Amino acid sequence: MSARPIATTRSAAGMPTARLAVWWIIASEIVIFGGLLGSYIMHRLAHGVWADYAAATNPWIGGFNTFVLLTSSLMAVLGHQAAERGDGPRAAKMLYLTCGGGLLFICVKAYEWTTEISHGMTITANTFWSFYYTAAGIHALHVIAGCIIMLFVAQTAKKNLELHRVEIIGIYWHFVDVVWIFLFPLLYIAK
Amino acid sequence: MAETIHVGHAEEHGHHDHHEMSFLEKYVFPLDHKMIAMQYMFTGMFMALIGGFFAYAFRMQLAFPGMDVPFWGVVTPADYNALVTSHGSVMIFWVAMPVLIAAFGNYLIPLMIGADDMVFPKINRLSYQIFLISAIIIIASFFVEGGAFGGAWTAYPPLSTKAQYSLTPIGSTMWITAVALEFVAFLLGGINFITTAMNSRAPGMKMWDIPMVVWMIVIASILFMLSVGPLLAGGIMMIFDQQLGTAFFDPDRGGDPILWQHLFWFFGHPEVYVVLLPAVGIVAEVMTVFSRKKLFAYKTVLYTAIGTGVLSFTVWAHHQFIAGIDPRMANVFTVTTLLISVPIAEMMFVYIATLYGGKITLTTPMLWALAFVFEFLIGGITGIFLGASGNDIYMHDTYFVLAHFHYTFYPIAIIGTYAGFTFWFPKMFGKMMNDGLGKLHFWLTIIPFNLIFLPLFVLGASGQHRRIYDYTNFPELAQPWQQDLRQLATISLVVMLGAQVIFFYNVIKSWMSGPPAGKNPWNSGTLEWTATSPPPHGNWPEGLPTCYRGPYEYSHPDHDKDYWPQNEPA
Amino acid sequence: MILESLLPAASSYARDIGFLFDLITLLVGVPFLIACYLFFAFIFRFAAKKVDKAMYITGYEHEYMKWIHRAHVPILVFDVIIVIFAVNVWYNVKQNLPEAESTVRVIAQQWAWTFVHPGPDNTLDTADDITTVNELHVAKDTLYHYKLESKDVLHNFSVPVFRLKQDAIPGRVITGWFEPTLAGEYDIQCAEICGIGHGLMPARIHIETPSQHAAWVAENSPFSLAKASAPELEVAER
């Protein structure tokens, strides 16, 4: 494994390379979710009957998951603060807690979907449920991916190495959180 | 560690890879941007041969209906649809994109901005690997049950989502999967290109000192990132429609087939500029060197590129004028579409103005660059016919459209690539190419190219529609003069494909036994020419260059030589 | 002129589209030729052997830049002219829906066309409708509405001699109009790829004089077929 190229250490734009890159990743992710949610909203406006389908969602579970994600974001912020201070082990601990939040989110989601599917609200039931599972599913994949990356970051952070990564994964985690903030009202609350 | 800004001396202690790399490390799983560029370049060229072969097979069927085409056999209607679909998809997603953006972007960006590599070499390698998998999937789709997808590269549902209509139950999903993977590969690559160009420029290289081709690849990557998202989401929806039985695009069950068209063309039109911009960037580099002149109005070129890029997000529905959208929308999109002619015309004028007052040498790369300008002009003006909604009622989906976009994509993907490849060949391989063979190849490509597509304009204007495998069923399209034109186009295609043998012979011959190129055979001023040819891993082992001036200081009155390298202290 | 020389113009708006095509050809052709002239003139004038040293021009100098800026004026003017004419034609063909004298239903499917003609009573969806496959019969100089439907995938109802084209979308009925102006028999094509048989769904449009058309209708009406050779019906119709 070779050392990092000099190119990576430069910052002619005045921002560390990794942070710049994560912002660009988020920009492209925004367009992906934007396209999906835009399509959903257009359909939703055209089909009044979807409000009835949406009534079957459980806003309490969705709301609890929102709370879980927001809390985990707070942990990510605390982790970043610890990393700024150079306290790697504490940053790692916070990242593990963030991961735990992500895991809880996924577990709740699994319970929720199991209930819904067993009541006949499958992905093919109608286009509302297709959007519901597709949008929330893509979001859940981002949660899982974020957790896995976070575990790797925590491993190095624990040894006080590559502490800047704590901030990078934090930015990404906040983005995942914000996506859910959009999904929750669109899928659960709008009746 | 990345929090501090490293400049100047601090960098000289950076990494230089001295340990011997194994064959696998160097050629199969490389981290060096130049080797990844070569992987993209040759994969792209290989795919171009496949795409060209597809074109050969279906053009033979059109010229000589029902014939037993050599190397293919009789082209059945299913074959025909699969061939045109794959030809379009391959040429755009697996030839134009990898060669123009990924290959030239990977090769040129670090070298031209004076960096030792891309900022994320591993992401770069991953990008190529995903791309390679997508290429394998699209080729493999020809060999599955039902054959390759045959619903055109636009893949409009419900034909593309329902197997009982397309009759390609596996091929359709393989197609959209391959396309989606290719998008992921280029998102990863794009993040690398943008971040590298923004952050890793040589000390002293200001915004306006960046070579035009780097700017263009970066703008193209940004355009790609901002336009492809909805289609990526649409691709997932399409896969779900095909395999899970959802109804996103199914009108019978509350879906909307037109939604796909919006998602597709919201990406599809900017995509034209995604591949166009790198090509015009390459042409800028070549033209300035061989006319020994500064690029005319550097900032204007840049602004026209950005303007075109922004406008390209507002024109997508001109592909859908007669697709059943609200007819009032067509008026809006006619205006935005014709507005694009302003920045594009300005860009072309600026290129012509660059020639003014120059000292022009017609080397092979210069011929390609000039051909690009001329052929793209034809492509550009014929677009006006189609952007004008009233005329598009007739012209939509005729061969006029086909000829029009081949007059844009061919200059971009083929002529632009040859301009860049022949220009940077000495840098890539350290040898000079044979100029005589290069010119022969140029003329044997460019003349048949025009003879293929000029007749198709006429056929299109006479009402010939696209994607119809045999025109003998249509009395108005089966007149002898029309069949003559079809045969002319096909024979020209065969000549053109044959001429590519000269190119590959020239490449191999020059690579093996061409005269050594030296560092800077063209007396060019940009940074890549200050490295050895070919540059080693790390590009400048003796220390990365510093930039003192703009990239195109040719024939400067205050300098004795007619070029003034960017790294030469004042 | 250009389009008409390649293919007859057989609808009331075909010549408008032909004119638009000619106009665009002129308005883009002239700038194109000027650009080509300059392009080749520069290449020959500034060839290396004729020039000692290239000029140093940044391009921002007013004396050079003004030529680029001046070129914008004609381009913008031409764009405006093209937009006005294009939108005008578009409005006439697609947005405007003049009063119909007769209506036909066009049903596309994989891979054939079904045409429903209104029959002797000139009203669709009555017992005397005439349904044909791959054969549309219309009367010259009569303003028709078409109601376009699709049974499966996207198709496109394209009549090149009319210069008319419209996508057919499953689940929707799209209404448009045409007025044939030239008698004869011409092609109908599908212009949206619709599967393996896309190239195998040719249809013909028969444009007849009003009297010929009336005769065809009378002959093919299921009503008159049922009561074969009923001369009094023909008389009554007249």
Specify the 3-state DSSP secondary structure of B465. strand
Task: Count CB atoms within 10 A of the CB of residue C186.
Answer: 23
Does one domain contain both C170 and C135? yes
Question: Where does B209-315 show beta strands of DSSP type E?
Answer: none
Specify the 3-state DSSP secondary structure of C188. strand
Pick from C95, C117, C152: which residue ends a domain? C95
What is the SS3 assignment for C62-125? HHHHHHHHHHHHHHHHHHHHHHHHHHHHHHHHHHCCCCCCEEEEEEEECCEEEEEECCCCCCCC
CB C128 within 8 Å of CB C119 = yes
Does one domain contain both C65 and C132? no
pTM equals: 0.93
Whole-number mean pLDDT of chain A?
A: 93
Nearest to B391 among C56, C86, C191 (CB): C86
The answer to whether B194 contacts A33, with C-beta atoms less than 8 Å apart, is no
User: What pLDDT tens digit does each residue of chain C (238 aa) get?
Assistant: 899 999 999 999 999 999 999 999 999 999 999 999 999 999 999 999 999 899 999 999 999 999 988 989 999 999 999 999 999 999 999 999 999 999 999 999 999 999 999 988 888 988 889 999 999 999 999 999 999 999 999 999 999 999 999 999 999 999 999 999 999 999 999 999 999 999 999 999 999 999 999 999 998 887 765 554 444 444 444 4
Q: How far apart are CA C12 and CA C159, in angstroms?
A: 13
CATH number at residue C17: 1.10.287
The answer to whether B156 contacts C193, with C-beta atoms less than 8 Å apart, is yes
Sheet holding C184-190, edge to edge: C135-139, C203-208, C184-190, C155-159, C164-168
CA distances from A35 to A29, B247, B419 (A): 10, 17, 37
Number of domains into which chain C is organized: 2
Q: Among B339, B338, B320, which residue's Cα sits nearest to residue B329?
A: B320
- For chain A, the chains sharing at least 3 beta-carbon pairs closer than 8 angstroms are B
CB B306 within 8 Å of CB B270 = no
Handedness of CA B282, B283, B289, B295 (dihedral sign): negative
Q: Which residue of B has its CA nearest to C89?
A: B390
Residue B13: per-residue pLDDT: 43
The CA-based angle B524-B217-B374, given to 5 degrees, is 70
Pull the structure tokens for residue C118.
């209104």
Q: How far apart are CA B389 and CA B384, in angstroms?
A: 10
Q: Which residues of C86-125 are buried (b: 16+ CB within 10 A; e: fewer)?
A: bbebbbbbbeeeeebebbbbbbbbbbbbbbbbbbbeeebe
Q: Say if B and C touch: at least 3 Cβ pairs within 8 Å.
A: yes
Residue C126: per-residue pLDDT: 87
Does one domain contain both C44 and C82? yes
Q: How far apart are the first and last CA of chain A?
A: 54
Does one domain contain both C78 and C151? no
Q: Among B48, B87, B83, which residue's Cα sits nearest to residue B405?
A: B87
Q: How many residues are listed for chain C in this entry?
A: 238
Can you list the pairs that C224-229 forms with residues at least 24 positions away whose Cβ atoms lie under 8 Å?
A: C224/C120
Does one domain contain both C215 and C122? yes
Pick from C95, C112, C146: which residue ends a domain? C95
Q: Which whole number is the average pLDDT over A159-176?
A: 94
Does one domain contain both C130 and C222? yes
Question: Where does chain C show beta strands of DSSP type E?
Answer: 102-109, 112-117, 130-133, 135-139, 144-150, 155-159, 164-168, 174-178, 184-190, 203-208
Radius of gyration of chain B (CA): 24
Burial zone of A146 (CB within 10 Å; 0-12 exposed, 13-18 middle, 19+ buried): buried
Interface of B with C in 251-310 (CB under 8 A): 251-252, 257-258, 291-300
Q: How far apart are CA B165 and CA B172, in angstroms?
A: 11
Q: How far apart are CA A31 and CA B223, in angstroms?
A: 11
Domains observed in chain A: 16-47+75-189 (1.20.120.80)
Pull the structure tokens for residue B160.
């593309």
DSSP state, B25? I
Does one domain contain both C86 and C138? no
Q: Which helix (H) or strand (E) holds B69?
A: strand B68-69
- The reply to whether C33 touches chain B by the CB within 8 Å rule is no
- For chain C, the chains sharing at least 3 beta-carbon pairs closer than 8 angstroms are B
Q: Which helix (H) or strand (E) holds B74?
A: strand B73-74
Domains observed in chain B: 29-530 (1.20.210.10)
User: A4: Cβ–Cβ under 8 A, 6 or more apart, which residues?
Assistant: B15
Residue C224: per-residue pLDDT: 62
**Per-residue model confidence as pLDDT tens digits over A7-39:** 888 988 888 999 999 999 999 999 999 999 999
> Residue A3 pLDDT more than 80?
no
Q: Among B316, B233, C150, which residue's Cα sits nearest to residue A130?
A: B233
Helical axes B33-63 vs B480-513, angle rounded to 10°: 150
Q: Nearest CA to CA, how far is B290 from chain A (Å)?
A: 30
Q: How far apart are CA A143 and CA A17, in angstroms?
A: 23
CB B147 within 8 Å of CB B216 = no
Strand-strand pairing, C174-178 and C164-168: unpaired
Count Cα neighbours of C23 within 13 Å in the Cβ-side half-sphere. 19
Nearest to B384 among C28, C110, C186 (CB): C28
Handedness of CA B249, B250, B251, B254 (dihedral sign): negative
Question: Which residues of chain B, if any, have pLDDT below 50?
Answer: 1-17
**Per-residue model confidence as pLDDT tens digits over B367-390:** 999 999 999 999 999 999 999 999
Does one domain contain both C87 and C107? no
Q: Which residue of B has its CA nearest to C65?
A: B297
ipTM of the shown complex = 0.93
Pick from C69, C95, C121: which residue ends a domain? C95
State residue B109 phi and psi, 5-degree precision.
Answer: -60, -55
Count Cα neighbours of A173 within 13 Å in the Cβ-side half-sphere. 36
Q: Nearest CA to CA, how far is A124 from chain B (Å)?
A: 5
Q: How far apart are CA C12 and CA B396, in angstroms?
A: 19
Q: How far apart are the first and last CA of chain C?
A: 40
Specify the 3-state DSSP secondary structure of B97. helix
Does one domain contain both C227 and C139? yes
Q: Tell me if the bond preceding B534 is cis, omega within 30° of 0.
A: yes
Please give the torsion angle defined by the CA atoms of residues B382, B105, B514 and B516, in that order, rounded to the nearest 10 degrees: 130
Chain B residue numbers touching C54 (CB-CB < 8 A): 291-293, 357-359, 554-555, 562
Does one domain contain both C42 and C129? no
Specify the 3-state DSSP secondary structure of B267. helix
Q: How far apart are CA B234 and CA B259, in angstroms?
A: 9
The CA-based angle C166-C169-C173, given to 5 degrees, is 80
Q: Among B407, B504, B385, B397, which residue's Cα sits nearest to residue B452?
A: B407
Q: How far apart are CA B382 and CA C29, in angstroms?
A: 9
Chain A residue numbers touching B110 (CB-CB < 8 A): 7
Interface of C with B in 50-69 (CB under 8 A): 51-60, 64-65, 67-68
State residue B168 phi and psi, 5-degree precision.
Answer: -125, 75
Does one domain contain both C36 and C124? no
Task: Count CB atoms within 10 A of the CB of residue C231.
Answer: 7
Chain B residue numbers touching A121 (CB-CB < 8 A): none
Range of the domain at C180: 102-237
Nearest to B357 among C46, C154, C197 (CB): C46
Pull the structure tokens for residue B429.
């391989």
User: C238: Cβ–Cβ under 8 A, 6 or more apart, which residues?
Assistant: none
Q: How far apart are CA B376 and CA A73, in angstroms?
A: 51
Pull the structure tokens for residue A26.
């988020």
Handedness of CA B143, B144, B146, B151 (dihedral sign): negative
Task: Count CB atoms within 10 A of the CB of residue A24.
Answer: 20
CB B346 within 8 Å of CB B304 = yes
Chain C residue numbers touching B381 (CB-CB < 8 A): 28-29, 31-32
Does one domain contain both C132 and C89? no
C125 CA to centre of own chain: 27
